[in-house]
Amino acid sequence: MAIRQIRLWGDPVLRTVTEPVTTFDAEVRALVTDLMDTLLGAPGRAGVAAPQIGVSARVFVFDADGRRGHMVNPTLELSEEWQHGDEGCLSLPELYFPTPRAMHAVARGFDQHGEPLEISGSGFLARALQHETDHLDGRLYIDTLRGDTRRQALRAVRSAPWANPAR
């Protein structure tokens, strides 16, 4: 279908809770295709959520740890064990900060045809599932950061050329 433009920090769609998908039709399948095309065309990718291309729908795609797929209307079950590592986001290009996430995640929802779907993952896949689900709830990974790391991230965002195109 199409590679769509990624919305960047400051776009209000990234801070808006998305609408649940209620009809599994050609429009949803086209959205999944556009999301996957966008993901596969992006550098340093692990996932793309619908709000990142300006669509308020609870849909994301992922390509992490050798697994590629999509999820509609996800809910997450997270482990109490934590992992630590750098995280980035296509909506905050070229910025990476240490971000704590649950080590294991189980995402439950539906595929593009409305069939129940469950995806379990650890490590990087678990991180991607959490990151993309956060997008559907109007959160960015830097919202989870605390202390000096958060201050550094916000300074980096404010000084990024894509955040201040007039520079």
The set of catalytic residues is 132
Closest CA relative to residue 136, chosen from 59, 83, 81, 80: 59
Q: Which residues of 93-122 are buried (b: 16+ CB within 10 A; e: fewer)?
A: bebebebebbbbbbbebbbbeeeebebebe
Residue 57 has a CB neighbour count (10 Å cut-off) of: 22
Two structure tokens written together for 119? 């995806």
Strand partners, 77: 106
What DSSP state is assigned to residue 25?
S
